[in-house]
Structure 1
């Protein structure tokens, strides 16, 4: 028996070490949580700036909890909460002037409710149907149907309450917030022992955070369309944040087992629920690294019992059976048998898991001669690169959405008051928000400052005036937005205003700062999906040591340089062409979220060398001009991470025309069209070039 215990303990240490390698360790988990909360704040900030601020966003699930790996490829669960509705649990919470909805719990399964529409002027129920989204129940009450938000799901696939976007690997749920804790979950407050992780602070946060109602009914209900499920996602996230690293590792292995051996018949949420129950009833002292395999087996036994009895109680609302109506008898029998085999093997079956090459990594720990040469023993540091790439690309996407909100090119008038109002909203968000809200605002402000300064400068140039002090002040506030884009926009402004010398100095400074070994080009316009196996990401080791996402962005990220049509006087004619790349048919059929189609967007590094070529040409520095041209060619041919290679080729073609190398220019435009046959101004360049030939 002692020998078996020693073997299980040794297996636990080996498994724990392998999980450390693939990113399930304290440092990586905390990094995932910080970036997840920051993404949540960025999403909310974006809507706060471009709308009335009546929508709050939450990122839930494994990505934000830090309970996933690259191989698990977990999607991101986003809860979108319109704040115009007020969900109340009793009439005392009714508020005048609000869209009050009363939770009704009669004739529904535990954990579900119906929403009765109340009047906003007096504390009374509606008697007539206010909209088509409402329906009478058997008692004549006006209820809201759970299809309320279905019209917002165009182009997405619905799964229960969620709308899935397979391209972005994300699930979106529109839910309604309730400020009070659900009455069905009140027994949880006094259920757990005081010396467990469910301490008073956690419970206080859970109760104060309230809950949500999401648009899905019980699968066995005859009136499913009128039911909403009560969600305690905020409290669950808090519980997961309070788990130790052994408990996190146990949960990750459970999810791998479900995916590898049970074809995801049981969901990760059911595994999480089982783990939360187990953590509550098992002494905290047992959740140690040396007991990892034993903890996994205990979790599997409890999960097996739940399937056998066809009852998996919701952690906060135990009367809500998460397995009710989900599995037929034969499936339950097969699942019980499969889990039993894994338990009987003392979890040796984990050696057969291919996710993140867990099995091969474990096998290598028993074969030290193969360990050094094992191609699967890649460092877990790559997790940092992928997560940060995801974060900064999402940030650039939301920045573009905010710029589009204040883009006035269609009205032919620049309303700087609106832009300044948007900037003030960013500052207000920073002052009134959480820690991650402040970081989100501080990351966003410099890029908005640069855009503001460039638009003012464009207006000055169009009037034949010198660049105003206000414009230069805005540009200086945004100069450290990232490694290159802020400075490149300033250099572009100076070049177009005729201050070639200062432009050249700034460009040389950018060249010194841009280290191609550690600087990661990122642009939200890139149509390539984010991959979890991106091993060519080049963030420096600072991203493993620093907890400051803003500083990392300033020193290791080079965003695509964005010019709207309001800024066209601040770019050369060659780049202005990019603002008119579409045919009429392409304009009619384009994606409404592709803001950049009407803009000029170019990667920082090729734009750096293009501007250097143009400045040296104006300064009659032939040697510097040819050096910049050679580096532009080399960048286009060798840089693997360009998002707008076709634009860089178009700029190179323009340079070749200036060099009177018309055949080379034609080759550049041809390569550009081969890469991007549509939405590409190279078509017009070719026509113009053929005219020159003729």
Structure 2
């Protein structure tokens, strides 16, 4: 292979083709970025609605688009509260806020700082005498100053989360990336240690002056973690320029991004498994930045990819040899300081040397995304080798997972907002009204076609449907009618997705006795619900497995988030104050938990267990069964019942199968098929033993069977 005089160019072009085939191309990278930035905007908007003036940032490979399916990259979510004002100079002090003065002296490590708490009524230090009784959880006195501890948030975590330094780590289920949630404070000023970077210029004339000016406006973040060799383990805070780095990555060309991804694959395959994972993807990114700055820009072309990769690996090898990888923006911060043992240093050097000497042959051994196999086929080495997926299939799979993650995020945010509802019904109405009004104000304040507007348009319809249902429930209770106000909010929420908004309207119409209009809405919903395309989405808890439909994958591949309302179906949620909009068969779900069960529930993740929640498709058929029964349309009624049975048996992605089985059981009771009903309840209980209304139905039905003297199941 290497005897070809144009060897490097040939391999580079073939390698570029392979990376394009596995989704490392401009289109898919932009899709990845938009997906994560939408989630970032939705999370920030949700925080604001809940009264938490917090900005949320998704950093890492997912938001950069610098990943592949096989790399299984996680991402960091930084929660940045605006209550805190980190300042470099006393002139930046603001009244009424938690002002924190950034201190860097001979005791702080490069790229790290201490945070001194100041008074909020005047620009003066807090007197140390206030802490004579002893240090608090958040603050301590050191060197005559009141300093903020970096350990304050480490014991705040949800059940199932893992504390990992400053981060609360959450392991994602199938199709979901792992998350590290990190608290952070924002500083509007550009850090002192990074000032030289603004004027530094390399051969590549990169970053441009415009990029540097933008980066300077982002200021910096401080996160609660100390350096490896610092003298102040509980007091040092790391200065992060993640926002500036995101800008730099967003301005990389496709060859530079492919080079970065190849470096991460090499680390994952050849180096970190044998070297205790001491090299990070952030080091790879830093190496790439240094190489781009110090090489001519015309070098970074597809036909030169292999040479660019070899250049980056050579620089990485030199950094390891010197045990010094200078942070690109804050060069005094050595990313390798104290990380590499002598043994690992030797191992890494040998590994990199072998990779460099192979002139790219080792790439054939990379299993991630079948990269090696695909490259071997491209350059016609050896026999024909089969691999799992075509480029089109890979694009569709990536697109569907991205869109599914967005829709799951919408469902999660809706659940979180509903969880914040007060106990009193009239206060729920006020809070939901406030939410919708605030969303409208936020929407109008944003720029034309902004990403933030798209995020709000995804969140608003579900809240509108909830508000319409709350109003309608009160209407039905007091006047046995549905007011124009409720119908108006239902109308706004119809296009949240294919089904859930329409089903909430149909449910209210059924409960008020308007069967003709309920039947019309249900028929319209069934027409829109393409069984080959529409994917159920439930953010109540993680699915054990995810099986996307081919039609769903195709639609995701050809469109962006605007297709959500045409190809997804959220689960239908009813709060207790919506009980008059809920058929009696579903009302049991609101009272599924005994006192003992409640003690075993997770307060945050299991909040939906006090509501009635059901997947859209089984609820559609259940409502049709009930509506056609009321209209005495027996054939249609039996068809709906058959569809409900088929859905429960064949739909793999139901989030609330146990609830669907309970609804089916009650239909069977109404068909006088009591033994079949009991089987449904037992199947439901097998899925979920506790916090399941099936327990009530089993006891109730056994009592009925006993009195009817009908033999129970064997």
Q: Shorter-chain TM-score: what band?
A: over 0.9
- Judged with a 3 Å threshold, the aligned counterparts in structure 2 of structure 1 residues 154 and 656 are, in CA distance, closer, same or farther, namely closer
Deviation at 1:376, TM superposition (A): 4.6
Alignment partners' CA distance in 1, 2:120 and 2:387: 67
Q: How does 1:27-426 map to 2 (within 5 A)?
A: 27-50=27-50, 52-106=51-105, 107-128=107-128, 129=130, 131-137=136-142, 139-153=143-157, 155=159, 156-167=161-172, 169-193=178-202, 196-263=205-272, 264-367=277-380, 373-377=386-390, 378-406=393-421, 408=422, 410-426=423-439
Structure 2 residue 489 is the aligned partner of structure 1 residue 478: no
Deviation at 1:529, TM superposition (A): 5.6
The residue matched to 1:539 in structure 2 has which SS? helix
The residue matched to 1:78 in structure 2 has which SS? strand
- CA displacement, residues 141-198 of structure 1 (integer Å, 9 cap, x when unaligned): 1111111222323543233322211246110110110011101101111112597341
- Judged with a 3 Å threshold, the aligned counterparts in structure 2 of structure 1 residues 154 and 385 are, in CA distance, closer, same or farther, namely closer
Alignment partners' CA distance in 1, 2:673 and 2:544: 36
Q: Which residues of structure 1 form unaligned runs of 5+? A: none
- Judged with a 3 Å threshold, the aligned counterparts in structure 2 of structure 1 residues 380 and 412 are, in CA distance, closer, same or farther, namely closer
- CA displacement, residues 627-646 of structure 1 (integer Å, 9 cap, x when unaligned): 11111111111111111111
- CA displacement, residues 103-146 of structure 1 (integer Å, 9 cap, x when unaligned): 11012111011111111222211122564321222x31111111
Root mean square deviation, CA, Å: 1.9
The one of 579, 585, 590 aligned to 2:601: 590
The residue matched to 1:615 in structure 2 has which SS? helix
Alignment partners' CA distance in 2, 1:597 and 1:586: 11
- CA displacement, residues 567-588 of structure 1 (integer Å, 9 cap, x when unaligned): 1111111111111111211112
Deviation at 1:395, TM superposition (A): 1.3
* Paired residues of 1:520 and 1:537 also in contact (CA < 8 A): no
* Paired residues of 2:590 and 2:612 also in contact (CA < 8 A): yes
Alignment partners' CA distance in 1, 2:340 and 2:553: 48
- Judged with a 3 Å threshold, the aligned counterparts in structure 2 of structure 1 residues 457 and 246 are, in CA distance, closer, same or farther, namely same
The residue matched to 1:101 in structure 2 has which SS? strand
Deviation at 1:367, TM superposition (A): 4.4
- Judged with a 3 Å threshold, the aligned counterparts in structure 2 of structure 1 residues 122 and 530 are, in CA distance, closer, same or farther, namely farther
Alignment partners' CA distance in 1, 2:74 and 2:551: 24
Q: Which residues of structure 2 form unaligned runs of 5+? A: 707-714
- Judged with a 3 Å threshold, the aligned counterparts in structure 2 of structure 1 residues 521 and 295 are, in CA distance, closer, same or farther, namely same
Deviation at 1:373, TM superposition (A): 4.7
Alignment partners' CA distance in 2, 1:341 and 1:651: 63
Equivalent residue number for residue 525 of structure 1: 540
The TM-score normalised by the length of structure 1 is 0.96
* Paired residues of 1:213 and 1:231 also in contact (CA < 8 A): yes
The residue matched to 1:230 in structure 2 has which SS? strand
Equivalent residue number for residue 552 of structure 2: 539
Alignment partners' CA distance in 1, 2:539 and 2:281: 30
Deviation at 1:560, TM superposition (A): 0.6
The residue matched to 1:80 in structure 2 has which SS? strand
Alignment partners' CA distance in 2, 1:371 and 1:555: 41
* Paired residues of 2:533 and 2:549 also in contact (CA < 8 A): no
Structure 2 residue 468 is the aligned partner of structure 1 residue 453: yes
* Paired residues of 1:426 and 1:441 also in contact (CA < 8 A): yes
- Judged with a 3 Å threshold, the aligned counterparts in structure 2 of structure 1 residues 206 and 475 are, in CA distance, closer, same or farther, namely same
Deviates more, 1:254-263 or 1:413-422: 413-422
Alignment partners' CA distance in 1, 2:578 and 2:203: 61
The residue matched to 2:230 in structure 1 has which SS? coil
* Paired residues of 2:203 and 2:296 also in contact (CA < 8 A): no
Deviation at 1:361, TM superposition (A): 1.9
Alignment partners' CA distance in 1, 2:163 and 2:588: 40
- Judged with a 3 Å threshold, the aligned counterparts in structure 2 of structure 1 residues 171 and 485 are, in CA distance, closer, same or farther, namely same
Equivalent residue number for residue 615 of structure 2: 603
- CA displacement, residues 32-90 of structure 1 (integer Å, 9 cap, x when unaligned): 1111111001111111111x231110000000000011111111210011111110001
Structure 2 residue 688 is the aligned partner of structure 1 residue 676: yes
Deviation at 1:449, TM superposition (A): 0.7
